[in-house]
Amino acid sequence: MSTAEIHRSILAVWRIEQPRLITSLSRMLRDVPLAEDLTQEALVAALEHWPATGVPERPGAWLLATARRRAFDHLRRGKMLARKHEAIARDLVWEQQAMPDLESALDDDIGDELLRLIFTACHPLLSRDARAALALKMICGLTTEEIARAFLISEATVAQRIVRAKRTLSESGLTYETPRGDELAKRLASVLDVVYLVFNEGYTAARGDEWHRPQLCNEALRLGRMLTAIAPQEPEVHGLLALMELNASRGAARTDAQGNPVLLMDQNRALWDRLQITRGLRSLVRVHELGGGGGFYALQAEIVACHTRASGPDDTDWQAIIRFYDALLARVASPVIALNRAVAVGMAEGPVAALEIVDGLKAEPALEHYHLLPAVRGDLLFKLGRHREARAAFELAANLAGNMREREVLKGRAAEADSAAPA
DSSP string of 101-136, one letter each residue: HHHHH--SHHHHHHHHHHHHHT-TTS-HHHHHHHHH
pTM for this entry: 0.78
Query: In this model, does residue 139 exceed pLDDT 60?
Result: yes
Q: Give the type of residue at 214.
A: P
Q: How far apart are CA 283 and CA 305, in angstroms?
A: 11
DSSP classification of residue 332:
-
Write the pLDDT tens digit of every residue in 141-180. 778 888 888 888 888 998 888 888 878 877 766 555 666 7
Instruction: Collect all residues with Cβ–Cβ distance below 8 Å to 89 and sequence separation of at least 6.
Output: none
Q: Is 209 exposed, middle or buried (0-12, 13-18, 19+ CB in 10 A)?
A: exposed
Query: In this model, does residue 18 exceed pLDDT 50?
Result: yes
Instruction: Collect all residues with Cβ–Cβ distance below 8 Å to 26 and sequence separation of at least 6.
Output: 32, 35, 113, 116, 117, 120, 176
Q: Is 382 exposed, middle or buried (0-12, 13-18, 19+ CB in 10 A)?
A: buried
Q: How far apart are CA 316 and CA 309, in angstroms?
A: 8
**Do the beta carbons of residue 211 and residue 261 sit within 8 Å?**
yes
Q: How far apart are CA 70 and CA 62, in angstroms?
A: 12
Helix segments in 265-311, DSSP class H: 274-289, 296-308
Q: What does the mean pLDDT of the chain come to?
A: 85
- What pLDDT score does 165 carry? 84
Write the pLDDT tens digit of every residue in 270-316. 999 999 999 999 999 999 999 999 999 999 999 999 999 999 999 99
Q: Is 141 left (phi over 0), alpha (psi -120 to 50) or beta?
A: left
Q: Where are the domains of the chain?
A: 3-108, 235-316
Q: How far apart are CA 293 and CA 301, in angstroms?
A: 10
Angle separating helix axes 296-308 and 235-248, nearest 10 degrees: 30
Query: In this model, does residue 101 exceed pLDDT 50?
Result: no
Q: How far apart are CA 27 and CA 315, in angstroms?
A: 52
